[in-house]
Structure 1
Amino acid sequence: MNKLIQGIIFLFLLFFQVLVSNSISLWGIITPMVYIMFILTLPFQMPKWQVVSLGFIMGFSLDLFTGILGHHAAACVLIAFLRMPIIKLIPSHISFEEHLRPIFWDMHFSWYVQYSFYLTLIHHVFYFFLDSMSFHNFFLVLGIAFLNSFASVLFILIFQILFYKASKRY
C-alpha cells in the first residue's frame, strides 16, 4: 500500500471518527471508535517505530479535534506497541510473510476478529480508565470498554468488507 493511499485512509478514518462516530451514542455509553482500524491495517513488515509513530499521530490528531489531550494518543501508542506481540499470540495457518497487511480479506475470519477484538479491547480499556481517572468503578468501566469494543469491531468489520480488497499475492 503506497503512502498516498495510507494518507487518504488516515484522513478518512480521522474525519469519519470526528464527524460521524463521535456523534453516535447508543444508550449514552457506546461510541464506536473506528479510527483505530488505521493502526490495525498497517502492513505486517512495517517497523515497530513507524507503527508507534503513526499510532501517536492518529491519536494526537483525534485528541486535538476532541479537546481531550492525551487519551487517544496514549491508547493508540499502546496498541501500536502491542500489535506484533498480539499477532504472534493468535494461532494462524497462514504465513504472515505471504500477506502485506492484516485485513479481513487476507486472513481467516476468526483470526481477524480475534486480532481486531483483542487490540480494540486493550485500546478501550486503557482509554476508558484514563478517561475515568480512577479504579473506583472498575467493573462499570470494564463493561463500558467491552461494549464499546464490540461496537467498534462490528463497525471495523463493516468497513473492511465495504472498502478493502484482498492483497495481491506474488
Structure 2
Amino acid sequence: MAVSVEELITEAERFLAENYDMKLGIPIKRNNRLRNTLGWFQHSDRDGALDIEINGKLMDYASRTEVIDVLRHELIHYALYSTGRSYQDGCVEFEDELKKHVVSSTDVSILFGPIVRFKCEKCGKSGYTETISVLKKHERCKTRCCKARLVNVRKDVIYGDKKEAAELCTY
C-alpha cells in the first residue's frame, strides 16, 4: 500500500502538465519528521529554495488516493506561487483552484499508522494514542476522562482512506 517518491514525481509531472502547462521544477521528498501536517510546499524568497515534502507515515499507511490528494494540494500551492498568484491556504483564489481540481482543503486531523487503543478502567470509554511507548508503560498512564488506569491496551495500525480511518478510531 505504500506510495513511493517516484510515483509521486510521475503523478506531479502529469498533473502539472495537464492542468497548468508547466513542468515540475522542484524536488518532491519524503519527510518522516512531519507530525502535524500531511505535506508542505516550502519556498524561500531569500535564496529561491523550493521543494514539496510529503509525510512519510502518510505515504506508508494511507491509500494511494489520499496521498495523491495531498500531493495535488501542494502542487497547486507550487503552481500558483510560480505564476505569481495567491497561493496561501484560505485565499479565495487558492481555495477555488482546489475546488476546480476536486482536491481537499487543508486537513490535519487525519490519522494513519500505528496507534495504541485502550479503555478506561472506570467508565469504559475507549480511546487511542499515537504514542507507541504507552503500550509498554501503560501501567503508569491514566485516562483523561477519569484519571483511571488503561485496560484492554493493544497495538493497532490504521490504513486506508480518511473516512475509513475516522471510523476505525472508535472501538
Same fold (TM over 0.5): no
Give the structure with the larger helix fraction. 1
Larger RCO (alpha carbons 8 Å, 6+ apart)? 1
- The TM-score, its normalising length taken from structure 1, stands at 0.30
Structure with greater Cα Rg:
2
TM-score by length of 2: 0.30
